[in-house]
Amino acid sequence: MAPREGPGQGSEYAWRQWTMRLKDTAEQHFLWNEGDTIVVAVSGGPDSMLLLYALHELIEQGEAEGARRLVAAHVHHGFRGRESDEEALFVEREAQKLGIRFEMTRVDAPGLAERRGLNPQAAARELRYHFLQDVAKHYGASHIALAHHADDQAETVLMRMLRGTGSSGLAGMAWKREEGELAYIRPLLHMRKTDILEWCAMRNIPYITDSSNTKRDYTRNRLRLDILPLLENENPQLVGALCRMADTLRDEADWMEEEARRLFQCHVKTVSNDEGSPFVSYAGSGYLLDRGAFCNTHVALQRRLIKLILNYLTREAEQMDFDVIETLRNAAAREHPSTWRMDVSRDVVFVREYDRLLWLLQDVAASDDIRCVTSLTIHRTSSSGRLSLPLNNSTLHWMIGAATDRDAAGNMRNFIDGSDSIARPRVRGRAWEAQFDADTLCWPLHVRSRQPGDRMRVQGLNGSKKVQDMFVDAKIAPSLRSFIPIMTDNNGQIVWVPGVRRSDVALVQPSTQCIIHFVLEGGAHASTQ
């Protein structure tokens, strides 16, 4: 609310009343607590000078030990030469007059903008925030106070609207934004610019007018000087309406973010190499999400969830536009193609593999899919045994016995030394188990990873078939194929691809006397089907 009284006792009372309402606003939005050290970003304009004086009133004089709790921080951006020099000296003098600690830095925003190809204002903002963070760290401050007001909020919302932002962008600037151990607070976000100027006049708060604010080279200035006044002819309460819309959308965005985090906790898994995991080559390098869980989520939350995953993986996530997120969402949600890949950024790749959605770091995802693993050998035996397969952290068990040892279901009785505790995979059919006529196998057997050009004579099929095609038919994810063990006989014939098919080699016949029964336990198979 703007002051109405002139200089004198009435204006002093109005000022005290206003600062107390400002304190109520701070408490309502949990902006700071008693005892917090606050760095105030002071440009020298009316907004930041009013903020500095108001915080001085509330904190420096209103709390014990308050004199050491404020730090005025000013950035000389290097845009306007002597004018910027005078601003820096002005802010320093005002801080000294109030007894507030002062920090200032000179930066080369134009040079950074040219080197990095940035908008000059974006370069200035990046340098300014780095400085504010450094000052906060130096003084042990937990908060950085910014002087954005309602007109700034309306301009921000309108500018983002013109650029085609989503609901999060239309939420505008927050009263309080936490970033690590720091909180950025905006105590004046409810105030109009005209009210700020009136308070400065009533309290004789000095300020400097930035000449660049009248230049129409910048989008924000054109909106402030030309577009908003034109729109206010249609709706005189436009600024308030835009701020209310931002407040509403921000609350909804906060709820959506909480829901996205809940979904992340429930359904998104970190790719790791824990025992039994099939993702050895992707250890610690990304996130995995079941496509079914994703498709059962509302479209709005699908977008939020993708953005959240990307935020955890890359700093470039904030700059990704709607089209990138929507491309990933459509690739995950649509039926075809069932396998798909896209470079999301310089360091992240998205991979869809049937019902598996993966976001992986580029250096890992680019690794060779074919793994070279030394072949392991199984010699002819007359007893049960086991073989650990480092290829996919699985264990191959076997038992050999007479055909008469089979039960009605065809399993070997007393499998593995009288123990039936082996954890058989819960998948359809018997793909993870195989029986062979031990006498007609060409011993020894070998277990290796797949190789280019692998073919197998398939049971029930006239001729051979590429193992690669078998993987496709079985819908085994490409990233898992190198972890599926291949069993061959001593002639190099593939006799079994666990989880896929067995060959027509050494089939168990009525005349079979000796049977060897294999079961693959653990490892990649739990996630391939």
390 is in an annotated binding site: no
Backbone angles phi, psi at 503, to 5 degrees: -90, 180
- Beta strand 182-185 with 143-145: parallel, antiparallel or unpaired? parallel
| 134, 123 Cβ separation under 8 angstroms | no
SS3 (DSSP) at 242 = helix
Cβ-proximal residues to 154 (8 Å cutoff; 6+ apart), any chain: 228, 238, 239, 242, 243
E strand or H helix at 5: none
On whether 510 is known to bind a ligand per the annotation, the reply is: no
CA neighbours within 13 Å on the CB side: how many for 481?
22
281 is in an annotated binding site: no
Tell me the C-alpha distance between 294 and 130, whole Å: 37
Q: Which residues of 443-468 are buried (b: 16+ CB within 10 A; e: fewer)?
A: eebebbbbeeebebebeeeeeebebe
Reading the block at residue 249, the tokens are 């959308």
Neighbours of 525 (CB within 10 A): 24
User: At 126, which amino acid appears?
Assistant: E
Q: Token digits for 362? A: 């580029």
CB atoms under 10 Å from CB of 402, counted, come to: 11
Is 43 known as a binding-site position?
Answer: yes
Encode the chain (529 residues) as per-residue pLDDT tens digits: 444 444 444 578 899 899 999 999 999 999 999 889 999 999 999 999 999 999 999 887 665 555 579 999 999 987 877 888 999 999 999 999 999 999 999 988 888 888 888 788 888 889 999 999 999 999 999 999 999 999 999 999 999 998 888 888 899 999 999 998 999 999 999 999 999 999 999 999 999 988 888 888 888 889 999 999 999 999 999 999 999 999 999 999 999 999 999 999 999 998 754 433 343 445 447 899 999 999 999 999 999 999 999 998 887 777 787 889 999 999 999 988 888 889 998 889 898 988 889 998 876 555 444 455 568 999 998 888 999 988 777 889 999 988 776 665 566 555 444 444 444 443 333 468 999 999 999 999 999 989 999 999 987 778 899 999 998 888 887 877 888 899 999 999 999 999 888 999 999 999 999 999 999 886 544 344 3
User: 45: annotated binding-site residue?
Assistant: yes
Q: Tell me, rounded to whole angstroms, the distance of Cα 313 from its chain centroid.
A: 5
Other C-beta atoms closer than 10 Å to the C-beta of 127 total 19
Bridge partners, residue 446, by sequence: 377, 488
For residue 190, count other CB atoms closer than 10 A to its CB: 19
Please tell me whether 84 is known to bind a ligand: no
CB environment 131-162: b (16+ within 10 A), e (fewer): bbbebbeebebbbbbbbbbbbbbbbbbbbbee
Rg (CA), the chain: 34
Strands 101-106 and 70-76: parallel
How far is it, in rounded angstroms, from Cα 8 to Cα 14? 10
- Let me know: does 278 contact 480? Beta carbons within 8 Å: yes
Q: Taking the model in full, what pTM does it have?
A: 0.68
